[in-house]
Structure 1
């Protein structure tokens, strides 16, 4: 692992510790913390408590006294802010003026309090009643071709709301159900399913108590899922070895001081997390993992010749896998020179990492969007599965594949029907339950929805949360096309940029946050979500809503659906709104194997596990076995190196979750007070003829003839591999071509974007 140079921006303290406490305190001061907010944090991620709206990391059956992390606390305090975005605010500001505001400033206005309609004549949002909003939206949808409408969902909505959102779309007549998974882990859903038959990871939390080695690829635990650091610390203490591959030195996988430990907080004691840390080239993970496999296979040959004893799990390979011989031959034929060049890692280092793999009985592979957001991201996942298959590290305790999901229920939404792929939907069950013929034509994912909006074939966009226009690629084209749509509807808790670009008829509908009490006809309601380990959790909300005018997400979905669809005796929107338990009964009836006794198991400590066939070594693949695969290239970027071309990595800061900016402190990288930076190593700065502090622009180097540019970036020395630069998401999204996505899943390839640097004329 390369040490941080003193003359680059960096953070030399461990993750966690007093830095996390100060980070939470700063946000608490800005948001106006209340005793109720403290009670919510006390109950956060605990059995029978409130489930965090931030990441999807699993919730333990036996929680810590404080089972929240820095970013989880920020998300809760952000939702429970004392600030309010009222009709009076909108009366004082035109939408054109608000477009000039920063993302952070828009959300800092506070919680939305009233349903609003965009008035084109005044260029302002004006108050609307709920009845007016529902009726107008319903009227508009009824006259449109259902296939011209898109129903988007962010990863935050509950299982109950998500199920009804998907049902509404299909009753209306389409499968156009893109969601935030399309932008991050759809590569997992497609890539894993192809090779092991499961669209999700195979591990549960207990596996981290029994593993001997963990291999990380492209995942930033310290900022994106800090509660994961607790099982990692415990694993290290019992001797587990951890190997990390990431272009960026992320502090969370280097060192950790546990804020839950008084001794560590007082003494500053820290746990070294990674035994080996390699700054792989962006997109070079395929080559790096192939190097690991190549050395494992070489050791198998040597060990068999010398000891007549196998290193590989040959029985597992013979009984449970397909394609081993072809893969092994390919790995042996690839030269180390090619592997070293594409990965940016020396052979000796890869062999040292592979030796850790060989010497471990149980190995877990962990990855994040540093793997999924490449043109060949699916093939990278396939290569990681190849590595695990060699020694039978799938389908047994203490081993497996563990993708770390982002938003709190992004995996669960797909589980209960939010998908554009009709083959993933239990069509027969829906037909029987609701007496209708669900549409069977494939719908639009996120990229296809964007293409349809630009082409003018999409006429309505309904957003269940999120900040769609800020999260997607090709922002300039998208914003220009967006205003030509007939109808845009945004269901949200706070103001963001997506609410400032409006169709001909546009509504902004404020909803309850997950932390706020949801009172319906039968009393206070609970909701559920699924974590990234396929465990289902119930969440109880107790806080007083930010406004008496707010409605729950489920109530808003039902309100629009009732005004859009004809009455049907088996579609009982009012009953479902009155008692969410009835929706859970519907989920159970639709997915009986995974959700048996759903209502009875809602508050199972640690969540109830919905099962995973691959964990049982049941492979639902075309071959009927787990498949070894061969990549078509060792560079997952989808483009070649060229003079003056860089691989841009888009990154999230420590003061950020998805598109939500909590502040301007990226403490764990040593960057404070700004997001307008271009990160490069010293050698690359000098090679490009640039200087520290110089203001430059990035220009897209996609070979499609479209000019894309983001300027005003300050050149900042930072430890990165040669040939790449780093900058923040979502500010860099305008540089990403809509066509630049994973080949199988169409997930935007935001972790390796071809760019050039030019002097900024400003």
Structure 2
């Protein structure tokens, strides 16, 4: 099959222009015009992701020490414009609308009302949120928490909260008496934390930004760079121009890894020419990454392109892995991957000819029933060539939320073994709980069965992001306490009952003034660098509090006073919180306050990068997957594998608009994408309304009706639809076996006409 034949199917919708370029610029200007952008927002964008400036609330990609003139991407600009909207959602809005009515609104329309301005309490007699005061809210929430069993409560954190906020939040939870601290990582990259910790001894990737200047080859697996981390396209483009090869594995042809025009290059913008990115773009089956990597490894072994000296010194259990590869037939590898042997041999030859290889991946690897095995296989491939622990090499998971990795670093974890409880005990004179807390999956099950009685949400839209939504939706109203700390209205705020509170907070771009003056916060990027952030925009309302102030207010109303726990002092000066972080994690946060605004961030270190393997064996661990497919089971007759997608005008559950420019799709999110051959085999017509039904047989009916059929360039046997609209089709039990990350990229469904 020629490369031309492996290209885009021209009979289905697609975007035929480069990522970036004029399309990106026009999209930003459209959102700016719609929101009546002001000069202050322009100034905020000018400072975004720069030393001494404000760190974007969108993706977690690295911030370079020498930033571009505009160090923000299309989605970063949308996130900032969305945060700094002129529109307001205050008591007058809630006086006009019951929650029953608001539950009929779509997700976009709920958030588009504007910024929350006042603390609100849910009044069940009128089915409305009513205005309250901060003292009243803190007192009532504290009283309710004191009456609940701490183990029946959950403190959830989205990935946007700062390191300072996250540290206070985990401390509050443990002083209160539980480790129920799931965060958005549970739904996205917890598979990474589990798989990398067991194979290389670190729960995060090993790359730094400089590695992309020296690699010969980047292997991409299941990562949509153009939408989820567009600033990454700058180092990718530079690498391509100096001769680096790019090979991409993804069931869907995403434009960011096909072609890119740099919006900051006048020459590229005027010429309207993009840089071709991927040398090979292989559309494998969903869950076929294990088999694809196995095929690459098999050919490397056959031609002897293996670093045996590195493996002898640093590897463990390689012999068992090698035997498993030899026992895996090419027929089985081709069937499971959906790719011909010739493609995988071609990739293996490129790998063999490359001195420095980086493996990059996103949720296409993590959100599968055997996602941990997929990551383990990528580690195996890199270890075979000694591609971890040298400049220009490594493994690079690309995280989503701007501080989701950092929250785990400073203690937001349900796993007590990952937290220095001994240091917390010494610093604050208490005995931290040592039992394992709830993951996201455990929390949803607890909400459904009634064992979870209290929930605090630190940002995010938990009720919308979870699997099995339709099972959980009615159960939220039965909680004794539901506290939502938020900036805008969303679905989680309207699925509530008595005991619900809506507490509005500052966004990162806004000025945070406390007793000692303006405060800075910090966050960690995907490459383990810590960055300071200083907001300067006026707050959307004088009634807003910062996230640290809200957490401290609830904690003071809940816990008995303790001389070592100084909530007021910490909120008055965030530098004192950073001192606590440094005292708790001295090796990673040395001189934290002094290095807060270091250009490019300061590196907190990585033992695997030094080839210091913090594993059980003391070496890098080769692993054998349970099967050649990451799917829980192979689809039977008439069953498709569902891949859930985010659009170009979306960040996580936030829908900015109803356009998906980079896929050539417009207007309707209630669609199901399917290849033309599969349409013909299934007797479907373009535009036909169908129902997707879960094919998991567990006694629960899961279905989404009214989806319009859209032909699209996809591999056989799969369909794609939008997240979070089709999350209800993913059963709660359909998750990665090691990490409990929901399998949003590989759920079995049927199509009913």
Q: TM-score, normalised by structure 1?
A: 0.98
Among residues 543, 550, 553, which one is paired with 1:549 in the alignment? 543
Q: How far is 1:428 from its partner?
A: 1.0
Among residues 647, 654, 660, which one is paired with 2:654 in the alignment? 660
Alignment correspondent of 1:724: 718
Among residues 561, 568, 575, which one is paired with 1:574 in the alignment? 568
Does residue 616 of the first structure (1) align with residue 610 of the second (2)?
Answer: yes
Can you list the C-alpha shifts for 1:7-41, whole angstroms capped at 9, x where unaligned? 21111111000000011111112222111100010
SS of residue in 2 equivalent to 1:483: helix
Among residues 251, 260, 263, which one is paired with 1:259 in the alignment? 263
Alignment correspondent of 2:376: 382
Alignment correspondent of 1:222: 226
Q: How far is 1:6 from its partner?
A: 2.9
Aligned partners of 1:602, 1:123: CA distance in 2, in Å? 45
Alignment correspondent of 2:34: 30
Does residue 68 of the first structure (1) align with residue 72 of the second (2)?
Answer: yes
Q: How far is 1:329 from its partner?
A: 1.7
Alignment correspondent of 2:332: 338
Aligned partners of 2:722, 2:224: CA distance in 1, in Å? 14
Among residues 294, 301, 314, which one is paired with 2:298 in the alignment? 294
Does residue 133 of the first structure (1) align with residue 137 of the second (2)?
Answer: yes
Aligned partners of 2:189, 2:462: CA distance in 1, in Å? 16
Does residue 247 of the first structure (1) align with residue 251 of the second (2)?
Answer: yes
Alignment correspondent of 1:235: 239
Does residue 120 of the first structure (1) align with residue 114 of the second (2)?
Answer: no
Aligned partners of 1:282, 1:532: CA distance in 2, in Å? 25
Alignment correspondent of 2:531: 537
Aligned partners of 2:8, 2:673: CA distance in 1, in Å? 14
Alignment correspondent of 2:501: 507
Does residue 53 of the first structure (1) align with residue 57 of the second (2)?
Answer: yes
Let me know the Cα RMSD of the aligned residues.
0.7
Aligned partners of 1:475, 1:570: CA distance in 2, in Å? 41
- Relative to structure 2, which stretch is displaced further, 456-465 or 30-39? 30-39
Q: How far is 1:103 from its partner?
A: 0.4
Matches within 5 A, 1:588-627: 588-627=582-621
Question: Is the Cα–Cα contact under 8 Å of residues 123 and 498 in structure 2 kept in the other structure?
Answer: no
For these two proteins, the number of residue pairs brought into alignment is 749
Alignment correspondent of 1:172: 176
Question: Is the Cα–Cα contact under 8 Å of residues 467 and 729 in structure 2 kept in the other structure?
Answer: yes
Can you list the C-alpha shifts for 1:477-516, whole angstroms capped at 9, x where unaligned? 1112111110000000000000001132000000000000
Alignment correspondent of 1:708: 702
Among residues 108, 111, 127, which one is paired with 1:107 in the alignment? 111
Aligned partners of 1:503, 1:356: CA distance in 2, in Å? 58
Q: How far is 1:314 from its partner?
A: 1.4
Can you list the C-alpha shifts for 1:61-80, whole angstroms capped at 9, x where unaligned? 00110000000000000000
Alignment correspondent of 1:744: 738
SS of residue in 1 equivalent to 2:400: coil
Matches within 5 A, 1:393-472: 393-472=387-466
Can you list the C-alpha shifts for 1:283-307, whole angstroms capped at 9, x where unaligned? 000000000000111110xxxxxxx
Does residue 206 of the first structure (1) align with residue 200 of the second (2)?
Answer: no
Does residue 279 of the first structure (1) align with residue 273 of the second (2)?
Answer: no
Listed as ranges, the gaps of 5+ residues in structure 1 are 301-310
Can you list the C-alpha shifts for 1:672-710, whole angstroms capped at 9, x where unaligned? 111111100000000001111100010001121210000
SS of residue in 2 equivalent to 1:711: strand
Does residue 693 of the first structure (1) align with residue 701 of the second (2)?
Answer: no
Question: Is the Cα–Cα contact under 8 Å of residues 124 and 497 in structure 2 kept in the other structure?
Answer: no
- Relative to structure 2, which stretch is displaced further, 321-330 or 63-72? 321-330
Q: How far is 1:474 from its partner?
A: 0.8
Can you list the C-alpha shifts for 1:103-160, whole angstroms capped at 9, x where unaligned? 0001110000000011111011100100110000000000111001000000000000
Aligned partners of 2:707, 2:448: CA distance in 1, in Å? 28
SS of residue in 2 equivalent to 1:64: coil
Aligned partners of 1:454, 1:475: CA distance in 2, in Å? 10
Question: Is the Cα–Cα contact under 8 Å of residues 206 and 396 in structure 2 kept in the other structure?
Answer: yes
Aligned partners of 1:5, 1:390: CA distance in 2, in Å? 35
Alignment correspondent of 2:150: 146
Q: How far is 1:3 from its partner?
A: 2.5
Question: Is the Cα–Cα contact under 8 Å of residues 48 and 54 in structure 2 kept in the other structure?
Answer: yes
Q: How far is 1:622 from its partner?
A: 1.0
Moved runs in structure 1, 4+ residues, more than 6 A? none
Aligned partners of 2:78, 2:401: CA distance in 1, in Å? 14
SS of residue in 2 equivalent to 1:345: coil
Aligned partners of 1:68, 1:295: CA distance in 2, in Å? 41
Question: Is the Cα–Cα contact under 8 Å of residues 260 and 276 in structure 2 kept in the other structure?
Answer: yes
Aligned partners of 1:250, 1:149: CA distance in 2, in Å? 40
Q: TM-score, normalised by structure 2?
A: 0.99
Aligned partners of 1:480, 1:86: CA distance in 2, in Å? 26
Does residue 635 of the first structure (1) align with residue 629 of the second (2)?
Answer: yes
Aligned partners of 2:29, 2:641: CA distance in 1, in Å? 36
Aligned partners of 1:327, 1:519: CA distance in 2, in Å? 56
SS of residue in 2 equivalent to 1:208: helix
SS of residue in 2 equivalent to 1:571: coil
SS of residue in 2 equivalent to 1:200: coil
Alignment correspondent of 2:639: 645
Alignment correspondent of 1:306: none
Aligned partners of 2:412, 2:10: CA distance in 1, in Å? 48
